[in-house]
């Protein structure tokens, strides 16, 4: 499982979401990619006021938006334990 966190460098909410997500890594195996939206105008246009935004992806499946602003721990845990649909 893989998470993508759309973030920016001066964002305390982004730091808080990453810390909360990392706290789950002792229970579940996953990787996390952090993308700074300010490095790409298209990402700023898409996510600017929503940052931080967390997406999850299982295997080759589509990435789905799980939460923004604050980590929705219940939704993330549900994503982590749910088997992808065939």
**Beta-sheet strand order (sheet of 2-7):** 31-36, 2-7, 53-57, 64-68
What are the pLDDT digits (tens) for 39-54?
A: 999 999 999 999 999 9
- Give the angle 14-15-18 at the CA atoms, nearest 5°: 85
What residue spans define the domains of the chain?
2-81
Bridge partners of residue 69, in order along the sequence? none
pTM surpassing 0.95? Answer: no
Tell me the C-alpha distance between 41 and 57, whole Å. 23
Confidence label for 60 from pLDDT (cuts 50, 70 and 90): confident
Q: Which CATH architecture has domain 2-81?
A: 3-Layer(aba) Sandwich (3.40)
């Amino acid at each position: 499982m893989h998470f993508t966190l759309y973030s920016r460098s001066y964002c305390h909410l982004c730091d808080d979401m990453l810390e909360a997500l990392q706290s789950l890594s002792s229970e579940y195996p996953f990787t996390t990619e952090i993308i700074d939206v300010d490095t790409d105008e298209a990402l700023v246009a898409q996510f600017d006021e929503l940052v931080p935004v967390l997406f999850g992806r299982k295997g080759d499946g589509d990435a789905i938006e799980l939460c923004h602003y604050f980590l929705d721990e219940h939704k993330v845990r549900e994503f982590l334990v749910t088997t992808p649909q065939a």
